[in-house]
Amino acid sequence: MEQSIFKIIKQAGQMMLDAKLDSLDTHSKTNFRDVVTDYDIKIQQFLKEELLKICSDALFIGEESDSNPKNYYKKAFIVDPIDGTANFTFGYRHSCCSIAYVEDDKVIMGAVYNPYMDELFSAKKGEGAKLNGKPIKVMDGNLKDGIVIFGTSPYSTSATETTFKLAKATYEASMDVRRTGSAALDLCYVAAGRNILYFEGNLAPWDYAAAAFILEEAGGVYSDWNEAPMTLRDKTSIVGANPKAYKEWLKLKDSVLKSN
Ligand code: IPD
Ligand code: CA
Ligand code: CA
């Protein structure tokens, strides 16, 4: 199954590379920041067709139109056809395709592919995480030892105030901060030791299902901001890092939110 998923995700990546950006059919969903293009829809259709050929009894959950979760996933694919759609529309070349395979309500395989860099992040339960087939690990250390990457939850304006307060406090406690526009790649960058920690105030299952699993297999931990496990269903906050930096950030978050 793993090799078939890799083949499919790379084909999806090629569709992103081949996209004619000057004639994209783009419209907004929940607010003016939340855009969808014909490629999001086309790629999701392609993924649905191809993934269900490998496992026809799996449920298919995707951001565009197949987004209804179930109480229990016996077998499921949770996919984001393009994570980083805003980047994609502007030719920013930092977006990816994300596929998680779930059995008995747990992710057991994850793949995230950035076609612009030809980087395939992947993990299989108990086998560690890889980047283009080579093992990756989270970086050790505290916030001050690395660069934090965060998301602005652009589709949920209620998170804005808290996000930017936390970004300032996190910037002061770390080497620097980044905002790149793809939550799945953010989590994979922490998994690969490029960033020390990632946080975002509001994220959907298709954004994190594969990448958070990859982070865990790379030695990281993640949860929502109250340390509750992610459910693969609701939209929640998220923080992920090595165990030490994760705890440090949660403490920092408590002190920032208390002083609100
Ligand atoms: C979004 C990106 C973005 C994050 C948002 C996500 P989309 O996904 O991952 O970085 O801040 O919360 O919804 O809409 O580009 O697939
Ligand atoms: Ca997404
Ligand atoms: Ca998307």
Ligand 3 ion: Cβ-proximal residues, 5 Å cutoff: 63, 80, 82
Whether residues 126 and 153 share a domain: the answer is no
Specify whether the CB–CB gap between 21 and 89 falls below 8 A. Answer: yes
| pLDDT tens by residue, 100-147 | 999 999 999 999 999 999 999 999 999 999 999 999 999 999 999 999
Whether residues 129 and 10 share a domain: the answer is yes
Q: How far is the CA of 237 from the centre of ligand 1 (A)?
A: 13
By the 10 Å C-beta count (0-12 exposed, 13-18 middle, 19+ buried), 54 is classed as middle
> What confidence score (pLDDT) does residue 260 get?
66
Q: How far is the CA of 254 from the centre of ligand 3 (A)?
A: 30
Q: How far is the CA of 107 from the centre of ligand 3 (A)?
A: 19
Whether residues 91 and 183 share a domain: the answer is no
How far from 69 is each of 135, 171, 204, 231, 259, CA to CA, in Å? 32, 35, 11, 10, 36
Whether residues 37 and 165 share a domain: the answer is no
Using a cut of 0.95, tell me whether the model's pTM lies above it.
yes
What is the chain's percent helix, strand, coil content, to nearest 5? 40, 25, 35
Whether residues 130 and 152 share a domain: the answer is no
Chosen domain end from 96, 113, 135 = 135
How many domains would you assign to the chain?
2
> What confidence score (pLDDT) does residue 29 get?
76
> What confidence score (pLDDT) does residue 97 get?
98
Q: How far is the CA of 83 from the centre of ligand 1 (A)?
A: 6
User: Rounded CA gap, 175 and 172, in Å?
Assistant: 8
> Tokens at residue 242, please?
């090595």
Strands 75-83 and 59-62 turn out to be parallel
For the CA atoms of 137, 204, 76, 16, the dihedral, rounded to the nearest 10 degrees, stands at -80
Which CATH number covers residue 12? 3.30.540.10
Which CATH number covers residue 196? 3.40.190.80
Whether residues 88 and 34 share a domain: the answer is yes
Specify whether the CB–CB gap between 122 and 129 falls below 8 A. Answer: yes
Chosen domain end from 115, 135, 155 = 135
Low-confidence ranges of the chain (pLDDT < 70): 260
Chosen domain end from 135, 158, 175 = 135
Per-residue b/e over 5-23, b at no fewer than 16 CB within 10 Å? bbebbebbbebbeebeeee
Element (DSSP H or E) covering residue 213 = helix 205-217
Element (DSSP H or E) covering residue 87 = helix 85-89
Whether residues 95 and 172 share a domain: the answer is no
Q: Which ligand lies nearest the alpha carbon of 64?
A: 3
Element (DSSP H or E) covering residue 177 = strand 176-178
How much of the chain exceeds pLDDT 90, in percent?
87
Whether residues 104 and 1 share a domain: the answer is yes
Specify whether the CB–CB gap between 79 and 88 falls below 8 A. Answer: no
Q: How far is the CA of 121 from the centre of ligand 2 (A)?
A: 16
Whether residues 73 and 100 share a domain: the answer is yes
Ligand 1 pocket: which of 149, 207, 234, 237 to mutate (most atoms within 8 A of CB): 207
Residue list, ligand 1 pocket, CB within 6 Å: 63, 80, 83-85, 151-155, 181-183, 200, 203, 207
> What confidence score (pLDDT) does residue 192 get?
98
Whether residues 44 and 111 share a domain: the answer is yes
Whether residues 113 and 161 share a domain: the answer is no
Whether residues 131 and 9 share a domain: the answer is yes
Residues in the chain: 260
Q: If you take atom 16 of ligand 1, which residue's CA is the nearest one?
A: 83
Range of the domain at 94: 1-135
